[in-house]
């Protein structure tokens, strides 16, 4: 099954996709966060035959929700209304890790989504 990873931001949304086996994550794109974001994501899900979404969960060092978490939770609910299974994965440090060695900020959003998705895939693999 293919997975879609999402690093949700107030301006940009990084997107990553796994291989068919759900083993490796790869950067896909960086989308502008507009009123059409759900439709844009649903289009990717349909075109890429995605079975499940992994969404970055934004918490602080103490485990409390960051201010953007309300928007992330609303976005998750909208995807789930379309029958899409959505799972959270911690995004702590992903943006900083993604920016290492990157010259362009938009690339870092897709890279952060890749890190989020790969973390989730690794946990799934370790459960098996």
pLDDT band of residue 92 (cuts 50, 70, 90) is confident
pLDDT at 22: 96
- Determine the pLDDT at residue 93: 55
Among 4-18, 82-96, 100-114, top mean pLDDT goes to 4-18
77 SS3 class: helix
pTM equals 0.87
Do residues 57 and 88 lie in contact, with contact meaning Cβ atoms separated by under 8 Å? yes
Domains belonging to the chain, first-starting first, are 2-127 (3.30.420.140)
Q: Using the predicted structure, report yes or no on whether residue 96 has a pLDDT greater than 90.
A: no
Under the banding of pLDDT at 50, 70 and 90, the label for residue 105 is very low
Q: For 21-25, 51-55, 80-84, 96-100, which range has the lowest pLDDT when averaged over its residues?
A: 96-100
pLDDT at residue 25 greater than cutoff 60: yes
């Amino acid at each position: 099954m293919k997975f879609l990873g999402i690093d949700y931001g107030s301006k940009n949304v990084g997107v990553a996709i796994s291989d068919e086996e759900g083993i490796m994550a790869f950067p896909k794109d960086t989308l502008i966060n507009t009123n059409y974001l759900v439709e844009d994501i649903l289009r990717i899900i349909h075109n890429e035959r995605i079975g499940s979404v992994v969404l970055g969960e934004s918490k602080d060092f103490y485990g409390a929700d960051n201010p953007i978490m309300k928007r992330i939770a609303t976005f998750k609910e909208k995807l789930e209304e379309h029958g899409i299974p959505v799972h959270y994965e911690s995004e702590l440090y992903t943006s900083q890790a993604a920016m290492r060695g990157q010259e362009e900020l938009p690339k870092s959003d897709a890279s952060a989504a890749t890190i989020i998705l790969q973390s989730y895939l690794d946990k799934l693999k370790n459960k098996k």
